[in-house]
Structure 1
Amino acid sequence: MPRMLQNTGLSQFLEKKITPNILSLLAGLCLVVSGCSSTQKKTASEIPLPETGSYFINAKEFVDIPSIASLSSLLPEQKDELNAFIARDSIKNLPKRNQVVEFIQYKMVNFNYEGLNYNTSQAWQNKSGNCMALAMLTYGVAKYLDVRAVFQVVHSAPLLTHISNDLVVSSDHVRTFLYETDAGGVYVNNSDFIVIDYFPDRNDRTGGVVSDNEFLAMFYRNLAADALLNEDLLLSYALLEKGLSLAPKYTPLINMMAIVHRRVGDFQTAEDFYLYGLHFESNSLTLLSNYSYSLIKDDRVSEATAINQQLLELENESPYGWYSMGIEALRLQEYSTAEIYFKKFIKNTPYYHQAYYELAKAQSAQGKILSAKNTLKQALDLTSMDDNQQKYLAKLNWLKQGR
């Protein structure tokens, strides 16, 4: 089974924001609640996608995006190579799912695990790519060999992959289940399968299984993320639109669609997308946080503050978002808010020593020296890395020297 150094492939965007005082302007909460609940009676299937803002209405005329088929297709010479591989004496009698695994392992020799979003043929040609590129390579090979590939999202320990002027990018990865299929391409849930986890870690948390369409939408999301980071908003929009045509309820795509509209000053359309996404994931930390940021940019501070209060009260969100938000609150010197976010994260993920170090910084900045010392001791107990131990001990010694 492929096992490699930790890398990630599913980009998650959190827009940076200045957090208003959470104790003030709470009357705005009623506005948020009523605004979200006005369409609660509709079923999810009845809620239409928001209309595109005027800036992007003709985006397709200016950009060229990859087709769905091109993402997983093999070049003729690649089909020849694969056919020759499975014809080997040591391979030809294996179940097809095992043939897929053997070939992926073969292709991963001297593979460069850099964070590029290559499709199947590109990852094959370049012998490189991130987790999604590896998943797409597996998907393309499995399709060619009539093996059913099913994908499951895996939430990894926090890794901030990019920080720009107003974006924090973190990411997760996927693992693949390979099933045998019958002549009609149908697989049975109870049939034998193989799991490929490209970047396993004992601290990973498994998420939901996604459909083929949602997996492909994830790939379009990654391509859109690349375009957004390169400030190519038209390309990002077109890729997001393609992804939403496959998975219209996939909230990371919805979140990014709101971001690109906010980036061009279309706050109303951005809000429409945030509220649309919240119909499907009402407690989404990312959607709520970015919606708050958009409201602040639109000078609607009281409504943003109410959403921030919602965020602080949430308990059922995947914990890794709290870490990113805590880092951002530290940067903005919102130390009490940072402390709350880091404590929420640690409550669900007590093994991640870096979070204790960040929490101690928030505590010491508020003059909570004893709490900071105790937090750093917990970090020291959790880490076995010499460089981290030195960093924590240095901070602890500094606190003992008169703070």
Structure 2
Amino acid sequence: MKRLFEYKRAMLLLFFIVSGCASGPGKETLANIDQYFADEEFTAVAVQVTPDKLFSLPTQVINELRQDYKRSRMSRDYIATNLWLANYINADKGGFKYQDNLTKIPMDTFNARAGNCLSLVLLSASLADALGVDVEFQEVEVPPVWDKAGDFYLVNGHINLRLIPREKHDTFLADKNALQIDFLPERTMRGYAKRRIDRTTVMAMFYNNVAAESLVEGRYDQAYAYLKQSLKLKADFIPALNTLAILYRYKGLDDRAESLYKLALSRDSEDMNALFNYGVLLASQDRLEEWAQVHKTLELVRIRNPYYYYDMAQQAYSDHEYQTALIWYKRAVEKADYRHEFYFGLSKAYWATGDERRAKLNMQKALSLSVDEYNQRRYQAKLQAMQTH
């Protein structure tokens, strides 16, 4: 999922590495989104990808998928459909792989055997639909991953999905048997919070993505058409409100852009994207007192996020500045003393400085806090290596 930041006069952007908050629950969906559109400023173009294409595959692909599944069922003992599908998607040969490129519909992703995380999620959901497997979509609240394209910084979020198993009589099995499909597993190993989202939100994400890609390429009319589609699906989708505001600014429609930033912030007063871009607009108009208030809010959001300190620590560690890394890891622990990866970071930094006792203590703490099998094995192995050193 892509979000846009303006780049001109905005170099401070590089320092904001915290995730934006999700829209709060219980807020009514906007009923008057049409008043924020500016059809008269754009040439009408058709939306090239209609919503019905976002979870569909050619009949031939569906038939071949079902035949593969039936053959597998006949050649082995019973295997849950969701498990078979997970193996099919992640197969070493013939499976699908992550590739950070343009957002595509399932048919194109299937043919390419690769796609970005949103493209692969759409494909996986389409395959699940074909086999009658239910899915749950999850937005993973990872720190942003930055890309630069022309005058824009693109902030890449992350999405994955869970395949929900069923018994033969369409009775749901226990939730613990659901399988998570993630094409960037390192994003979830850190135990980031995940937020369930519905299919409509995923569709809105798609149109915001392709709109951002069109905007970067200078295809403003196409970007506008996609953004309208995104907001028609989900009127309070803040990333699309933000992208539309940026598009308005590039068309010289600052008043319309400001109204969208205010609308987005009325839905989530701490949304980093809207705050930052609104601040850029205010600075460009020399409205410095208002800019200062926005900047203050940005700073408060940033310093409350423990992963800000963690990522600063990780950077210092990679630069071999181990004492500095210790300072940042400790600050992360002060904000969230329940995160196993923070103690793992402390352990690494202490070991690098020669403080083996504290390194072992913090590795033990990381092990005690970890709940997933992968990290438990990893920490146990490192602890044993330390003890036999």
Going from structure 1 to structure 2, the CA distance change for 1:92 and 1:236 (only over 3 Å counts) comes to: farther
Distance apart, 1:75 and its partner CA: 0.9
Going from structure 1 to structure 2, the CA distance change for 1:64 and 1:284 (only over 3 Å counts) comes to: closer
State which of 309, 318, 330 in structure 1 corresponds to 2:296. 309
Partner of 1:226: 213
Distance 1:317 1:240 in 2: 32
Aligned 1:165-180 pairs, distance under 5 A: 165=151, 167-180=152-165
Distance apart, 1:120 and its partner CA: 1.1
State which of 115, 134, 137 in structure 1 corresponds to 2:120. 134
Distance 2:169 2:95 in 1: 36
Distance apart, 1:67 and its partner CA: 0.9
Distance 2:205 2:93 in 1: 22
Moved more, 194-203 or 254-263: 194-203
Q: Look up the SS of the partner of 2:156 in the other structure.
A: strand
Partner of 2:33: 49
How many residues of Structure 1 are paired with residues of Structure 2 in the alignment? 317
Partner of 1:13: 4
Distance apart, 1:172 and its partner CA: 2.2
Distance 1:244 1:115 in 2: 25
Distance 1:303 1:224 in 2: 29
Matched, 1:77 2:38: no
Partner AA of 1:232 in structure 2: R
Distance 1:107 1:132 in 2: 20
Unaligned runs of 5+ in 2: 13-25, 330-343, 353-389
Q: CA offsets per residue over residues 90-138 of structure 1, 9 Å max, x none? A: 4794222223213212386464532231211111111111111111111
Going from structure 1 to structure 2, the CA distance change for 1:140 and 1:311 (only over 3 Å counts) comes to: same
Going from structure 1 to structure 2, the CA distance change for 1:233 and 1:151 (only over 3 Å counts) comes to: same
Distance 1:351 1:315 in 2: 12
Distance 2:77 2:134 in 1: 18
Partner of 2:81: 96
With a CA cutoff of 8 Å and minimum separation of 6, indicate the structure with the bigger relative contact order. 1
Partner AA of 2:114 in structure 1: S
Partner of 1:285: 272
Partner AA of 1:44 in structure 2: E
Instruction: Tell me if the contact between 2:118 and 2:159 (Cα under 8 Å) persists in the aligned partners.
Output: yes
Q: Look up the SS of the partner of 1:87 in the other structure.
A: helix
What TM-score results when the alignment is normalised by the length of structure 2? Answer: 0.70
Partner AA of 1:179 in structure 2: I
Distance 2:93 2:313 in 1: 29
% same residue: 21
Q: Look up the SS of the partner of 2:132 in the other structure.
A: coil
Matched, 1:119 2:68: no
Partner AA of 2:47 in structure 1: D
Distance apart, 1:267 and its partner CA: 0.9
Distance apart, 1:375 and its partner CA: 2.5
Partner of 1:194: 179
Distance 2:115 2:196 in 1: 22
Going from structure 1 to structure 2, the CA distance change for 1:376 and 1:211 (only over 3 Å counts) comes to: closer
Instruction: Tell me if the contact between 1:114 and 1:130 (Cα under 8 Å) persists in the aligned partners.
Output: yes
Distance apart, 1:231 and its partner CA: 1.5
Distance apart, 1:163 and its partner CA: 4.3
Going from structure 1 to structure 2, the CA distance change for 1:43 and 1:151 (only over 3 Å counts) comes to: closer
State which of 317, 324, 342 in structure 2 corresponds to 1:375. 324
Partner AA of 2:66 in structure 1: N
Q: CA offsets per residue over residues 41-66 of structure 1, 9 Å max, x none? A: x9634663262454x44757323321
Going from structure 1 to structure 2, the CA distance change for 1:112 and 1:143 (only over 3 Å counts) comes to: closer
What TM-score results when the alignment is normalised by the length of structure 1? Answer: 0.68
> RMSD of the alignment, in Å?
3.8
Distance 1:96 1:199 in 2: 23
Distance 1:245 1:318 in 2: 32
Distance 2:77 2:248 in 1: 52
Distance 1:185 1:72 in 2: 22
Partner of 2:369: none
Distance apart, 1:355 and its partner CA: 6.1
Going from structure 1 to structure 2, the CA distance change for 1:176 and 1:317 (only over 3 Å counts) comes to: farther
Aligned 1:321-400 pairs, distance under 5 A: 345-346=308-309, 349=310, 352-354=313-315, 374-375=323-324
Q: Look up the SS of the partner of 1:305 in the other structure.
A: helix
Instruction: Tell me if the contact between 1:15 and 1:290 (Cα under 8 Å) persists in the aligned partners.
Output: yes
Distance 1:182 1:218 in 2: 32
Q: CA offsets per residue over residues 156-215 of structure 1, 9 Å max, x none? A: 3543122432x2112122121111468998968847421112211233512311011001
Instruction: Tell me if the contact between 1:20 and 1:305 (Cα under 8 Å) persists in the aligned partners.
Output: no
